Amino acid sequence: MNKTIIRLIPAVAVLAASTCLAETEKFRGTGLWKEVSGTAIHYFDAVPGRNVITHETTPTGTGVNLHTTETIDLFGDLEGRVLYQPETVIDFAACSLVNTGNQVFSGTVLGEGPVLLHDSLFRFDVNICTGETAGKVFLVDRIDGPAVDCVLDIVGTGFSEQGNGLADYAGRCRIRGADAPGLD
C-alpha cells in the first residue's frame, strides 16, 4: 500500500463518521446542545398526591423487586414534575438497588414549554449500604410541546428532614428545530 493511500485513511474515516452523524442529526432535527443543571426532590413522604404508590412487591432470595409510581420535582434549567414508574430490584446481599422503567417529565426546559417527555432508558444505581446514588436520564421521546432532547446525569445528595431524596442533575438539552419529524 503506498504512502498516499495510508495518509488518506484517517481523512476518509473522519468523513465517514461525519456523514453518519449528519444523517442521525437530520432525523432528530437540529438544535444546539446547551449545558443544564439543577436540583431534584424525590418524594417518599406520605403527602397525598405525591406519595409512593406500590403496585407489586415480589420477595427474592436476597431482597425484593418492587413496581411503584413515584413523583419527583425538578428545579433549575428543567422546571417541572416527573411521574416516575420504576421497576426496582433490591439485593440486600450486594447492597444494591437498581431502578429502570418508565418516566414522564412535564414542565419547561430552558424556559421553553410546556413539554411532555418520556424516558424508558433511565437507570439509577444506589448502594444501600452507603447511600451513594447515581443515575442517567434520557428525556428524548417527545409526547407533546416543543421538540426537546435532554440527557442528564443525576447524583444523590442526601435526604430532607421529611425523608425525601435530594439530588443534583447536570447534562445537556437542546430544542430541536422545526425540521424535526413529528412536529405539529
Work out the widest C-alpha separation in the chain, in whole angstroms. Answer: 74
| Other beta carbons within 10 Å of 74 | 22
Distance separating the N- and C-terminal Cα atoms of the chain: 53
pLDDT, position 51: 85
pLDDT, position 46: 81
Residues 6+ apart with CB under 8 A from 15: none
Residue 52 binned pLDDT confidence (cut-offs 50, 70, 90): very high
| Other beta carbons within 10 Å of 44 | 17
Average pLDDT over residues 95-121: 97
Residue 139 binned pLDDT confidence (cut-offs 50, 70, 90): very high
Angle value at C-alpha 104, between 150 and 137, nearest 5 degrees: 40
Q: Spell out the domain ranges in the chain.
A: 1-29, 31-175
pLDDT, position 177: 72
Helix (H, G, I), strand (E, B) or coil at 146: coil
pLDDT, position 126: 96
Domain over 31-175 is classified CATH 2.40.350.10: yes
